[in-house]
Structure 1
């Protein structure tokens, strides 16, 4: 019995040790821990290295320094991002996505010593400058993701034959994709998107991966040839993205056989033809074909009960949206903008319970906007239609609404203060409607709004909002209303403000010089108000690019200090590379247009380039001289100082404005000559110096040979126009036949002969003597004496003027 107990005890102890051993994980092999540490030391941690991190659903995620706490004192299987086999302890998975790694990735990296790796993800790190040629002799590898890793080379041929997932999004691949990739028998997901230098040629025969491939992402890849019939064998394909791939013609027939497709993206191609055949895709959840040439009506909608996303923006769809649609209870996002749709918006859209985003802009929908059933609205844009009636109350009680754009309709009524309940609103665009009443005071307290556009309505009263310190306003447009009173001083709290337009109102205030303390203000438009007084400011306005104070009552000297502080105008950004725009956030939904006067025309800029630098101080009461400091603003493209009371000369410093395209100094009292130095303004397209007191010869050459006569009219002392442009004179008429009867015609002729002058003087003398005789005979000597002096002065002045201009005309005519 005792022996049995001993045996039982030994057996129990052995089983306990076996159980303990099986439950304890194997430690990470030292060679693999060393390989991981060597890989870690190749890179530095930089939070900016993973700026663009997204999860599998496309949502932005927060990056994290995964390797920061790796050290040899702990088991590598416990390190962040490392996963080991529970039995052997071998490293089988390494996920360093969004790990803030920065540095060069070498082809002999110690990473390739981890022979048992099955899943490797190095996406969303900064390995720029690396010429990676991955040694994928990792024969056990099942999943490889290198999204946003700069490979900058051709794709290697030696992939693991066990690959199920291959993600190479934004890797700068070059050359032609090896056909072998399509024949990986276990391949389920292939993403080669955004590799424009990668050429893809599909196999013409059935692929080995046809039965297994479920996800194929080829956005922005260079295709050769047509989509072959082999595509029709992809019976397991659930997701296909071939957007921006230069596809043309009708939708390829092989695609119509993919009846199991759930997600189809063919955006930004040249596809054409009717959309009726989409009814065969009964399992579709996401359908996007925006920016093509497709036509027809949306009749197929009634047969797609699973649809969550519908995007046919920028096509040629016509007619009304069908009203007899039912069963689309899962539809969350509808994009049908820029088509030819008309009629009323059907009720079923407003009754969708889970609707999140609705974009119907740039159509001809009419009628009222109904109340929405959905409580999950995020984006509603119905702009550029013919919709009418008030803003629905249901839109003002949305918990997640980020963008509300109803501009360019016939929306009427008041703006309810309930709009301030939208605690997540970023864009509020109600411009060009029939709104009236006052602006709700609470709008200035909305801490999430970036863009506020209430322009071109019938709003009245003062600018009520009190802008709080916490605000994030980037664009404020209240122009073209009936607003009165002062510019609210609380605008100084809008520290992020770049674009302020209060033009075409009835504001009555001195110049709000404190706006110059806004550190990011680039566009200030106060034109056509009742603003008054001198402009005296020491404030910076350092970033200002467009300032329009025209058509007000400003007076005093031109503000020299103001010009000195225009730092952004002192740089010529002509060769800065890719065009940049002012306050261009959320440009997909909102275009920050601006009305300006340039090159003699009123025009609307749909977007404002940072190089579009304009000063417009016209139609005020400014006095004094044009300051030389303007010549330092070398980025200026438009300068308009017309219709003021300016005197002095045109400063020669203007010759430094090498990109100046429009110069208007008309209707002032500017005198002196036009400097020959201004011939250096080779970018000048429009010049207006009319109605001043300019004298001398008009410069010849370069742009000055292109200006019409109306650029100089109203300057009695100017001479030197070519005959073909000489104040509208037809150069086919000989000069000797040009009449000299009228005073204006005399003054406008640079080649009047001395004979004609003497004849005129003689005639005047005869008439004068006749007048003397008559006056003496009628006994009015005092009156005659005064007239005699005036007549003598006029004749003398006329003779001197003709003599001077004759000499100037000869000089201008024959000088080289």
Structure 2
């Protein structure tokens, strides 16, 4: 017997049909059970998403349903259960769905005995937890000649694709053999698949050229060959019904095929991470239904077609990592639906196009690593849904104006302005407006990504710098919040208001001309994982409160003017010398200079944060006190020495005086 998993109600589907079953009523009236009206025998059992949980045994009464034609056990939890050989005895089956149900182990040969099957889907949530093996794979293709739909995603087959038996599947309309560890080329002499509409062979180890019979399929709708090692050129497609072409992450070359540019039903065109060359033809704008255009990481040159901004259905535009040049002269219309624009890593010049303000749905904008020469486009803050903005590694310059406009960048989660020529003070007014970063991103238990609706079709890569190295984030979690203003010409103090941005995971202000102290308010950044303030002119002591940052994994305070004792405890006990080098006034572990204090435990004092006027006044008062104290100490010291010499005080008293003077001298050296 199976139990109902009540926790399954959190999943995207949950319909516990068996809860309504009652043995005192006719089973043909049960939810999910369908009977032949003439014979009364069960012919269809639909337990899709029923929340069933437990072991699936070979003595199950299910195998007594000899007239069963359709059986769906998909989206249940039979974790650890083998697929029973008794499935092979259900010889009347035409539909068998065992997708995402936790089955494991070797798929038995007996499955191939169900020769009437038209619809077969077997997969697992545990990648490669199911195995078929080369022999059983061939046997399945040989016997199931009636198949119209075959999906074996994530089943470990570890075989080549057998040409001999593939040709026999003349009724096949849908074939998905993704993540199967398939090797070798796709067979070239296949002539019987004229009804094939969906072909998905992604994430295998397939190589060679794409055979011509694929381009000749008359009814092809969906072609996905992603993440293999295919080479050669893309030929002209015969099909007039193409909606999806995804061949990214291969070694394909040549120009963008002209035959793709007249497919009026094309919605997704992803050719990224190949070796395509030549220019982007303006005829691509004729694809009126196109939702995604991903041409990134190729060798495309020339300019960006101006008409791309007028494609009313386009949501994703990926042209990153090519050799595109000229200005971004694209005019984005007010009707556009763009959510992702990625132009990173080209040779684009000029200004940030003002018409981007028309992209009211934009969530991700990456113009980094180009040659843009402009001031900070603060007007981008008017985009209501913008979550990621990367302008890193350009020639942007000037101060980031201290605009008091409310609600700029209200949903921003990642802003990267690093490696430019920005100057002036850090933009306090912008920090005040970062409403999304003022909240700690809640973990819902499931990973949610920014613009994640396309995660199956588009690699939304973002480059960030951590530990001084560039790192690729293939997708960005909604909880991951970053501010990177490093390698600019910012000056002045670090504003304490940054402490209000409690959702920050990474803060990088390194390689600027920042002065003042480290604000103690940074201890409020309770989920901060990386803090880099290196290569500035920051002084004072490291606030002891920073020891409370329990998520801090990366700390770089090197090459500043910091003094005093390094905080102890928690994450601070894990950082190495490199985090502090270039600060001659720092003491304490892990440095070799002893901090002193009781039993070597540092006794830090954190400077109080002041406004600029107060700070200047405070500095003056401090120095006056030092001078007055030194003068008084000098007079008193000389007087004591005179009395001691004239009255012949004992030796112990003279030693005490010397020790006292040494302590005063060491204090004075700090200033």
> TM > 0.5 between the two?
yes
Paired residues of 2:103 and 2:130 also in contact (CA < 8 A): yes
Displacement of 1:515: 0.5
Displacement of 1:721: 3.1
**In structure 2, distance between residues paired with 1:655 and 1:670:** 17
**In structure 1, distance between residues paired with 2:226 and 2:453:** 19
Structure 1 partner of 2:131 = 271
Aligned match for 2:106, one of 250, 263, 266: 250
Structure 2 partner of 1:187 = 42
Displacement of 1:584: 0.5
* C-alpha RMSD of matched pairs (Å): 2.7
SS of corresponding position for 2:514: coil
**In structure 1, distance between residues paired with 2:529 and 2:665:** 36
- Within 5 Å, which residues of 2 pair with 1:522-601? 522-536=387-401, 537=403, 538=405, 540-601=408-469
The change in CA–CA distance for 1:479 and 1:375 in structure 2 (over 3 A counts) is same
Structure 1 partner of 2:637 = none
**In structure 1, distance between residues paired with 2:455 and 2:26:** 43
Greater mean alpha carbon deviation, residues 702-711 or residues 219-228:
219-228
TM-score by length of 1: 0.68
Work out whether 1:654 is the aligned partner of 2:522. yes
Displacement of 1:150: 6.0
Structure 1 partner of 2:303 = 438
Work out whether 1:462 is the aligned partner of 2:324. no
Aligned match for 1:676, one of 533, 544, 564: 544
**In structure 2, distance between residues paired with 1:620 and 1:725:** 32
Work out whether 1:393 is the aligned partner of 2:258. yes
Aligned match for 1:237, one of 59, 84, 93: 93
**In structure 1, distance between residues paired with 2:83 and 2:553:** 50
Return the index of the structure with the highest Cα Rg: 1
Structure 1 partner of 2:666 = 804
In the alignment, structure 1 segments of 5+ residues that lack a partner are 1-127, 130-146, 170-179, 728-798, 809-816
Structure 2 partner of 1:282 = 145
In the alignment, structure 2 segments of 5+ residues that lack a partner are 1-8, 596-660
Work out whether 1:482 is the aligned partner of 2:347. yes
Paired residues of 1:487 and 1:509 also in contact (CA < 8 A): yes
**In structure 1, distance between residues paired with 2:563 and 2:152:** 64
Paired residues of 1:204 and 1:230 also in contact (CA < 8 A): no
Aligned match for 1:361, one of 226, 233, 240: 226
Higher relative contact order (CA 8 A, sep 6+): 2
- Within 5 Å, which residues of 2 pair with 1:285-324? 285-299=148-162, 300-324=165-189
Paired residues of 1:717 and 1:805 also in contact (CA < 8 A): no
Q: Deviations over 1:341-397 (max 9, x none)?
A: 110000000000000000111111100000100010011000111100011111111
SS of corresponding position for 1:469: coil
Displacement of 1:615: 0.5
Paired residues of 1:185 and 1:209 also in contact (CA < 8 A): no
SS of corresponding position for 1:188: strand
SS of corresponding position for 2:175: strand
**In structure 1, distance between residues paired with 2:221 and 2:415:** 39
Aligned match for 1:471, one of 336, 351, 360: 336
Paired residues of 1:467 and 1:493 also in contact (CA < 8 A): yes
Paired residues of 1:276 and 1:297 also in contact (CA < 8 A): no
Q: How many residues align?
A: 579
Aligned match for 1:217, one of 72, 88, 109: 72
The change in CA–CA distance for 1:565 and 1:353 in structure 2 (over 3 A counts) is same
Structure 2 partner of 1:697 = 565
The change in CA–CA distance for 1:722 and 1:372 in structure 2 (over 3 A counts) is closer
**In structure 2, distance between residues paired with 1:273 and 1:421:** 45
The change in CA–CA distance for 1:260 and 1:576 in structure 2 (over 3 A counts) is closer
The change in CA–CA distance for 1:556 and 1:162 in structure 2 (over 3 A counts) is closer
The change in CA–CA distance for 1:717 and 1:653 in structure 2 (over 3 A counts) is same
SS of corresponding position for 2:324: strand
Paired residues of 1:239 and 1:261 also in contact (CA < 8 A): yes
Aligned match for 1:156, one of 7, 11, 22: 22
Displacement of 1:155: 3.8
TM-score by length of 2: 0.82
Greater mean alpha carbon deviation, residues 328-337 or residues 274-283:
274-283
The change in CA–CA distance for 1:593 and 1:723 in structure 2 (over 3 A counts) is closer
